[in-house]
Structure 1
């Protein structure tokens, strides 16, 4: 991984990662074969639930919020699917209203640990299911997948966070440790986005659906945080977390800072919550400022042509 995020390019704590870690006991067998089969056959569509039984048919606030969420789910799904060698286009889930874009970057990660590969497969299944579910809820009002940049965006963020210097690059698909750090960028954002939008959802069925997705995203976030703590990557994670907090503060100054992983005497802060023990909440503007990397100056980062839909 010559100019990727490697030992000499990272903060000292990450440079001392113990690659023998506890996952050696997982062996080479992969229990994710069934999940992969379900992905390729499209067999992971969620069952009939209250929110999927009735689609959003009018352009109301609920539809706007779900389309905002769908854009973010497109991003997460492409990240995880490409890490295991698939795409949303391959699952025929990219069309809709607005301008359908293209996705650059992303490739299958050369996983060394069977356990981390299974984590990636599991989360990929969930994100694919989220995209399919929200598109079902929105019906013909679902927005198309926008243009997504998975090629240079991570380098921009890594440099801004101080993880690498000018001229170095960060490819989250180059190895499993870089993959986990890349994944950590999305997961906490997803949780805070759903938590922040909850108060504006008017239909209780859709609120219930959003709460269900939020819970799954929170599970993902806690898992990624724990995996990074296991390999001693807390300092690198905290740099990413601090950058997210700074981008959020550009929109809404003050308030509590996003919780870092490393806290005195405990390296396992697997949940990002406030002083009341509640998940952090972000406005749509705060979320956009993170995924846009602060705005036009960064080329809108992950979404070069912005999101599709009313909230963009």
Structure 2
């Protein structure tokens, strides 16, 4: 019998928490330390990430910090989504599907916690997701939402890459977006097995390149899935 353990803003079972903790240590801890050191070296100080006169709004900030908070916001959304998927499995979820979706959940938790630890005092608050429009009991609805989140995540990282000034941050973002692209591919394969849709022409252009979408457009696309108002006007500036 497994007991639940609080992890971030939600609970996972003891086995899942152990897995995440191992991954955080082996895959992220060293990078987080280096990342945090770079933030200190660049002279970043704690900023007020709330917009004056709008107490419920969250300002992502400017420069590289803004880009990192932008990524952190998206990782919060994805981690919360997959946590709910595993907490409330859709009808008929197979063992194979649960294994895949649990693996993705664990990756997203690691990504979220990585950005949170690295940004430290510069991090935005924990966001409140809004998944009221998703029927978590329906396989079609869950995988459709997962496809949207993963495709959006990949396009978001691609679009924000050119805004990153520090090459070390760009390298880290490149490592994370490659994982997000793997997620996008496997979700598409679950929806349409053994087809070419894992890299469909709706996301890959004639040059074999993934889409790159600007932060403003991404934030507009995910607005309905977050209860908080997010201001990304200065991201990368």
| TM-score, normalised by the number of residues in structure 2 | 0.74
Task: Give CA-to-partner distance per residue, 1:37-64, whole Å, 9 cap, x none.
Answer: 425x744312302435533634641000
Residue 148 of structure 1 corresponds to 129
Q: Which has the higher contact order (CA 8 A, sep 6+)?
A: 2
Residues 1:269 and 2:197 aligned together: yes
Residues 1:305 and 2:228 aligned together: yes
The alpha-carbon deviation at position 311 of structure 1 amounts to 5.3
8 Å contact kept, 2:188–2:197: yes
Alpha carbons of 1:111 and 1:47: their partners in 2 closer, same or farther (altered >3 Å)? farther
SS in 2 for 1:304: coil
Distance 2:166 2:144 in 1: 36
The alpha-carbon deviation at position 205 of structure 1 amounts to 1.0
8 Å contact kept, 2:161–2:173: yes
The alpha-carbon deviation at position 269 of structure 1 amounts to 2.2
Q: How many residues align?
A: 197
Flag structure 1 segments of 5+ consecutive residues without an equivalent.
1-32, 86-106, 155-170, 232-266, 293-300
Structure number with bigger Rg: 1
Residues 1:118 and 2:49 aligned together: no
Residue 63 of structure 1 corresponds to 65
Alpha carbons of 1:37 and 1:65: their partners in 2 closer, same or farther (altered >3 Å)? closer
Flag structure 2 segments of 5+ consecutive residues without an equivalent.
1-12, 46-60
The alpha-carbon deviation at position 280 of structure 1 amounts to 0.5
Residues 1:38 and 2:36 aligned together: no
8 Å contact kept, 1:193–1:282: yes
Residue 48 of structure 1 corresponds to 30
8 Å contact kept, 1:144–1:308: no
Residues 1:289 and 2:214 aligned together: no
8 Å contact kept, 2:128–2:228: yes
Which residue, 140, 145, 152 being the options, matches 1:182?
145
The alpha-carbon deviation at position 175 of structure 1 amounts to 3.5
The alpha-carbon deviation at position 136 of structure 1 amounts to 1.8
The alpha-carbon deviation at position 141 of structure 1 amounts to 0.6
Alpha carbons of 1:269 and 1:61: their partners in 2 closer, same or farther (altered >3 Å)? same
8 Å contact kept, 1:109–1:174: yes
- Greater strand share, 1 or 2? 2
Distance 1:82 1:311 in 2: 31
SS in 1 for 2:160: helix
Task: Give CA-to-partner distance per residue, 1:113-133, whole Å, 9 cap, x none.
Answer: 111000110000000001111
The alpha-carbon deviation at position 219 of structure 1 amounts to 0.5
SS in 2 for 1:273: coil
Residues 1:223 and 2:186 aligned together: yes
| TM-score, normalised by the number of residues in structure 1 | 0.58
Distance 2:231 2:79 in 1: 16
RMSD (Å), alpha carbons = 2.5
SS in 2 for 1:307: strand
Distance 2:170 2:124 in 1: 20
Task: Give CA-to-partner distance per residue, 1:187-210, whole Å, 9 cap, x none.
Answer: 000000000010110111111111
Alpha carbons of 1:35 and 1:199: their partners in 2 closer, same or farther (altered >3 Å)? farther
8 Å contact kept, 2:36–2:120: no
Distance 1:311 1:304 in 2: 21
